[in-house]
Chains A and B, each alone.
Chain A
Amino acid sequence: DARVTQTPRDKVTEMGQEVTMRCQPILGHNTVFWYRQTMMQGLELLAYFRNRAPLDDSGMPKDRFSAEMPDATLATLKIQPSEPRDSAVYFCASGLRDEGQYFGPGTRLLVL
């Protein structure tokens, strides 16, 4: 049963620290997405890649967030420096064109 995996599942850190979240997409999927979920904003897209190339990162605060896909099996989302307002659940999803997106279990981030 192919699944998207994410690590860590939970992260508590202090303001100013670097946070790195990792995602392993489903093998064969060529599109990877990062979403953030908060009570106030709901689910919002941060960035996405197709065939490892970044297509859109307009949803990310550019000064502190960065997303990369160093190879087809790994996507990373980094926050540096982290702030309390970054506290949220971060989801990675992968998919193929015309087949929909499949979500990982999420990383629950708390920045104190």
Chain B
Amino acid sequence: GIQVEQSPPDLILQEGANSTLRCNFSDSVNNLQWFHQNPWGQLINLFYIPSGTKQNGRLSATTVATERYSLLYISSSQTTDSGVYFCAVVGSTSYGKLTFGQGTILTVHP
């Protein structure tokens, strides 16, 4: 099946800093999503982005499907950004099934 690798595995920032999270995938995809799992365990949709660039406030994401990677940018980080960021993809032969990466654990200190 399709493989999803995220980097870095851990990231520690001071409030106000910017960061870039990366997601590499091993095959062509029909769907790519970024999620934030907050400290209470809730999985929150950030972006549905199988290709192109999207922005939502301080967050933006870019997927280059032909090169099989996606980037999540967090600007002016806040302590509430802490948690785990997951990239998940639906492979072109996966019939809707999301395959998750192992996540990036982000800690933002005040």
Residues of A within 8 A of B (CB): 31, 33, 35, 42-45, 48, 50, 55-56, 89, 91, 93, 95, 97-103, 105-106, 108
Q: Is the CB of B48 within 8 A of A55?
A: no
With A56-B95, A89-B41 given, is the CB distance from A101 to B33 under 8 Å? yes
Binary per-residue interface labels of chain B (14-43) against chain A in the complex, 1 for a CB within 8 Å, 0 otherwise: 000000000000000011010100000111
CA distance A83 to B28 in the complex (A): 37
Write out the residue numbers on chain A whose beta carbons fall within 8 Å of the beta carbon of B33. Answer: 100-101
Q: Is the CB of A31 within 8 A of B48?
A: no
Residues of B within 8 A of A (CB): 30-31, 33, 35, 41-43, 45, 48, 86, 88, 95-100, 102-103
Write out the residue numbers on chain A whose beta carbons fall within 8 Å of the beta carbon of B102. Answer: 42
Q: Is the CB of A42 within 8 A of B98?
A: no
